[in-house]
Amino acid sequence: MTFSNLPPAIAEALAERGYDAPTAVQAAVADPAAEGRDLIVSAQTGSGKTVAFGLAMAGELLAGEATLPFTELPLALVIAPTRELALQVSRELGWLYARAGARIATCVGGMDPSKERRALRGGAHIVVGTPGRLRDHLERGALDLSGLRVAVLDEADEMLDMGFREDLEEILDATPEGRRTLLFSATMPRPIVALAKRYQRDALRLATTGEERGHGDIAYQAVTVSPSEIEAAVVNLLRFHGAETAMLFCATRDNVRRLHATLLERGFAAVALSGEHSQSERNRALQELRDRRASVCVATDVAARGIDLPGLSLVIHVEIPRDAETLQHRSGRTGRAGQKGTAVLVVPYPARRRVESMLRGARINAEWIPAPTPEAIRVRDRERLLAALLEPAAFDEEDRLLGEKLLAERSPEDIAAALVRAHRSALPEPEEMIEDTPDARRAAQRERHRPGFDEVAWFRMDVGRRQNADPRWILPLLCRRGHVSRNEIGAIRIGPSETHFQIPRAIAAKFNAALARTAGKDGEGQDVRIEPSDNPPHPAARGDSDGPPRHARPARPHPHAGGPGGKHRARKPNGPREPRR
C-alpha cells in the first residue's frame, strides 16, 4: 500500500523523508471511510500516529489549497500529556507541513510564556501544547479557539491518568461545536469512552493494535528472582542484553534514586528521571541519552511518559507495574516505528501468580526465563567483542605507525590479548545469583530468617483476616502479653480465622508462662486467645507469608485497622474451643 490522494505539499514532504508506505494507523486514518469524521484511534506508541493525525487533519487545514492562508486564529490544536511529547509532535508536524507554509506554536511548561503568547498573536495555524499551559493561555485570553477546525488528543489515556481531565474539558468546551475531534489512545478505559461520548459526534472507531494487546514488535520476558536479588538481576540483564539504550522503571522516586546510585557505582553510564528533577535536569539527562554519553535511564512512570528515545531497545520493569495499562505504556517506550524491542519483568518469587494474571489479562505471551548467569553474559561479551573488533575500519598513518612499534615489542597474540582485556575492563562485572530452582528458592527463603530462629516454637491466636488481623497491632499485643521484645518474635502468618507466629524455642516456656499470667486481665487485647500450636502452618499454604519478620512495621495501631485499639475489635471467643484436627 502506498500514500495516495494526499495534498501535493504533504506528499512531497513524505517523499523527502523516505516514507514509501503508510503504517497501519496511517492507512486507517487516510481511508476514505474516515474522511471528515470524528475518530477514536487505538494505536500503540511508536506506530507512526503523529504523522497519522497530521495526515488526518490535512483536509480541514488545506481545504483543497496548495498552501495554508494567513490566519489570526488557530485552525488545529494538538494536546499531548508531556512537554517532551508535545515538542516531538511539534517537530514532526513542522516538517510534514513545511511546504504548506504552516506556522506552528508550541505551548508547554518550562518555556517562556511571553514568547508563546507572541507566537499565538502572530497567527499560528497549528497549536501544540500540554493541558496545563494551554488552559493557562486560554484563561488569560492569549489563546482563542473559536476558529478551530480540528482538535487532536494524543495519548489521551495518559492525560487522564495524570489528572488532566478538568483541563481537557475546559479546553474542549472553548472550541466550536462543528470542529472535528481526533482521539488517539493506546488503551480504551472507561474514562476515555466517556470523554469521547461527550465531545465527539458519531465517532468512527479504528483499532490498529490487533487482537493481541501486547505490542507486536516487543518480545516480553519475565525473570523470577529472590526478592533480595532484584538489583543483581537488573545488573545481569543490562550486561546480557548490552542494549544501546535501556529504560528501567521503578515505582517511586526514592527507588529511582537508590537504583541509579547503584548502577553508577557499578560502572554503568546511567541517568535518572523522576518528579524530584527540575526541567533543566530532565533536559540534560535526555540529551546525554541522545548523545550516547549515557545508555541507561532509571525512571518513574510519570517522568518517562511521552519520552521517545532513538535506539531504545530494552525496557526493564524493575518493580512490577500496578496494572496491565501501566505495563503496556512502559513497554511501549521500545519497539517503536517498526523497530524490535525487549521488555523484561523482574518478578520476585512470591509475586509470580499476580504477574501471570496480569499478563493473561493483557493478552501478552511472556517467556519465563531465569536471570542471566555470569557465564552466559561472558559468552555474549565474547560474541559482541569479536563482532566489534572484526568490523571493517579505516586506519590513519599514525595508527599504523603505532601498530608497527607495538609489533616490534610484543607478539601479535599479546597485543590482541591486551586489546581484549582493555575492552573487558570497561564492562561492569556480572553478579553471581541464586539458581532458579525449587530447592534454591526454598533455601533463599530460609536464608531470610534472622539468626536465633533456627529452633522455633509455634503459637497461635484465634483471630485472622476475617477479624481484620494486622501485624501492626498483633506485634505490640504479643510484646505486652508475652513480656518479650519485638526482636524475639519471628515470622507472622495470618490465616482466614487464626494467626500463627514464631518464638525462639529457648524462651518459649517463659513466653507461655507470661501469657498465662496476663490472660483475662484488664487491657487491650486480653480477649484474644494465644496458645502453643501443635499444627504450624505449611509454608506453601494459601495466604501464608514466609517473608522476613514484620518488625519494620509501625507498632502503633492504625486508626482504621482492625483488632485491639483499632476500628474493629477482635471478636471474643464463646467458651473453650475444640482443638483443631
DSSP string, 285-312: HHHHHHTTS--EEEEEHHHHTT---TTE
Asked if the model's pLDDT at residue 400 lies above 90, the reply is: no
Percent of the chain with pLDDT over 70: 84
Asked if the model's pLDDT at residue 451 lies above 80, the reply is: no
State residue 182's pLDDT score.
94
State residue 295's pLDDT score.
93
Asked if the model's pLDDT at residue 68 lies above 70, the reply is: yes
Q: Which of 267-271, 501-505, 564-568 is least confident?
A: 564-568
Domains in the chain, ordered, with CATH? Answer: 8-207 (3.40.50.300), 218-373 (3.40.50.300), 377-425 (no CATH), 449-581 (3.30.70.330)
pLDDT level of residue 432 (50, 70, 90 thresholds): confident
Asked if the model's pLDDT at residue 577 lies above 70, the reply is: no
pLDDT level of residue 555 (50, 70, 90 thresholds): very low
State residue 212's pLDDT score.
42
Percent of the chain with pLDDT over 90: 37
Asked if the model's pLDDT at residue 560 lies above 50, the reply is: no
Q: At residue 152, what are phi and psi to the nearest 5 degrees?
A: -125, 130
State residue 157's pLDDT score.
83
State residue 419's pLDDT score.
84
CB neighbours of 104 closer than 8 A, spacing ≥ 6?
90, 93, 94, 97, 124, 125, 126, 127, 128
State residue 97's pLDDT score.
94
Asked if the model's pLDDT at residue 305 lies above 60, the reply is: yes
- CA 144, 145, 148, 152 torsion-angle sign: positive
Full-model pTM = 0.59
Per residue in 353-394, pLDDT (tens digit) is: 999 999 988 889 999 999 999 999 999 999 988 888 888 878
pLDDT level of residue 107 (50, 70, 90 thresholds): very high
Average pLDDT score over the chain = 82
pLDDT level of residue 568 (50, 70, 90 thresholds): very low
**135-144, 285-294, 497-506, 513-522: which has the highest mean pLDDT?**
135-144
Q: Which is higher by pLDDT, 310 or 19?
A: 19
Asked if the model's pLDDT at residue 519 lies above 70, the reply is: yes
Per residue in 187-208, pLDDT (tens digit) is: 777 888 899 999 999 899 988 7
| 151, β-bridge pairs | 77, 181
CB neighbours of 570 closer than 8 A, spacing ≥ 6?
463, 467, 468, 469, 525, 527, 528, 562, 563, 564
- CA 552, 555, 556, 561 torsion-angle sign: positive
State residue 344's pLDDT score.
96
pLDDT level of residue 120 (50, 70, 90 thresholds): very high
State residue 192's pLDDT score.
86
Per residue in 70-103, pLDDT (tens digit) is: 899 999 999 998 888 898 899 999 999 999 999 9
Look up residue 360 and give its three cell numbers: 493473561
What is the pLDDT averaged over residues 288-317? 86
Asked if the model's pLDDT at residue 513 lies above 60, the reply is: yes
Distance between CA atoms of 139 and 116, rounded to whole angstroms? 14
What is the pLDDT averaged over residues 444-470? 74
pLDDT level of residue 269 (50, 70, 90 thresholds): very high
Asked if the model's pLDDT at residue 442 lies above 70, the reply is: no
pLDDT level of residue 162 (50, 70, 90 thresholds): confident
